[in-house]
Amino acid sequence: MIWVVIGASSTIAREFARQAAMQGAGILLAGRDRDDLAANAADIATRANVPVRVEHFDLADASEHSALLESAHSFANGAEINLFLAAGTMPAQAEIDADPGLAAGTIVTNYTGAVLLLQRFAPVFEAQKSGTVIALGSVAGDRGRLKNYVYGSAKAGLHAYLQGLRARLVRSGAHVVTLKPGFVDTAMTWGLPGLFLVASPAAIAKAALTAAAKKRDIVYAPFFWWGIMSIIKHIPERIFKKLNI
């Protein structure tokens, strides 16, 4: 089997690709930073004796999507194709509020681009009648909040889309995992104030592989975020709207 890893320069994707390769899967790394992807590819090839390919890819540019699909087919060479979607950006809400144009980019990378790509890949999974899509959602998508609502709304849209895609693909034996990480210790969160219960990227990657193996549908990582978000989701809106979170 192969994993097509989208947004492969992100720390979580780097860890995921490593761990999947150590389990014997071939890895196609797709992302924007060519040098970094080449370094990740060398790392994977050195760690694990698996085939690795690098594709320059921008999720926001839908015209590139079909080329990636073709590359995946040729790389897989008949083996099962699986997809790990980790692309996304998270500008601070204050920056977006100051520059409304940033909202468009946030929605494209976190929602529109993901939907267009998955629409294109869905027939692959239907045809092979197996395989897994893991897409990174976010606990931020569970409830719109003051500090993160454009990003959160894009992730909320993605969550709903993935539910529908899951229903579509289960009919042909393929599976969709919605992975919702809490705070993760990445370059994106390094030095940010107010974080707690921060998980390592390696732990998130491991949770993703476990969720795929056990065919879980919606997974919080680490698991206790399910409890935290259950509480947050149940705070009445008239109170929640005044909270500074």
Partner 1 sequence: MIRWKTDRFAGWGRTAPALARAARPERQAELDAAFAGAREFGATLPRGNGRSYGDAAQVTDGALVLGTRLDRFVSFDPATNLLVAEPGATFADLLAAFLPRGLAAPVSPGTMYATLGGALAADAHGKNHDRAGSFGAHVEWFDLLIANGETLRCSREQNADLFRATIGGMGLTGFVRRLALRLAPASPFVRVKESRVDDLDEFFEEFAASRDGANFTVGWVDALAKGAQLGRGIFETAEYAPDAAQRPPGLRAPKPIPFDLPGFALSAPIVRGFNELYWRRVPEAGRTGERALDRFLYPLDSLADWNRLYGKRGFHQFQAVVPDGPARDAVRDMLEKVAATGNASFLAVLKTLGGEGHGLLSFPMRGVTLALDIPNAAGADELLASLEAIARDAGGRIYLAKDSRQSAATFRATYPRLAEFEAVLAEFDPEKRLESDLSRRLGIRGGPA
The Cα 220–Cα 204 span in angstroms is 9
Catalytic residues: 151
Which stretch in 43-51, 58-66, 163-171, 220-228 sits in contact with partner 1 by CB under 8 A? 43-51
> Shortest gap between Cβ of 5 and partner 1 (angstroms)?
15
For residue 236 the two structure tokens come to 């009445």
Residue 34 in the binding site for partner 1 (CB under 8 A): no
Q: Identify the residue among 42, 92, 104, 235 touching partner 1 (CB under 8 A).
A: 42
Residue 116 in the binding site for partner 1 (CB under 8 A): no
For residue 52 the two structure tokens come to 């690795």
Residue 217 in the binding site for partner 1 (CB under 8 A): no
Binding to partner 1 (CB under 8 A) within 1-20 occurs at 9, 11
Q: Identify the residue among 187, 197, 213, 245 touching partner 1 (CB under 8 A).
A: 187
Q: Identify the residue among 5, 25, 40, 178 touching partner 1 (CB under 8 A).
A: 40
DSSP structure class, residue 139: G
DSSP structure class, residue 109: I
> Shortest gap between Cβ of 47 and partner 1 (angstroms)?
4
Number of alpha helices (DSSP H) and beta strands (DSSP E) in the chain: 10, 7
Residue 48 in the binding site for partner 1 (CB under 8 A): yes
Residue 196 in the binding site for partner 1 (CB under 8 A): no
- The 3-state DSSP class for residue 185 equals coil
> Do the Cβ atoms of 15 and 47 come closer than 8 Å?
no
The Cα 120–Cα 124 span in angstroms is 8
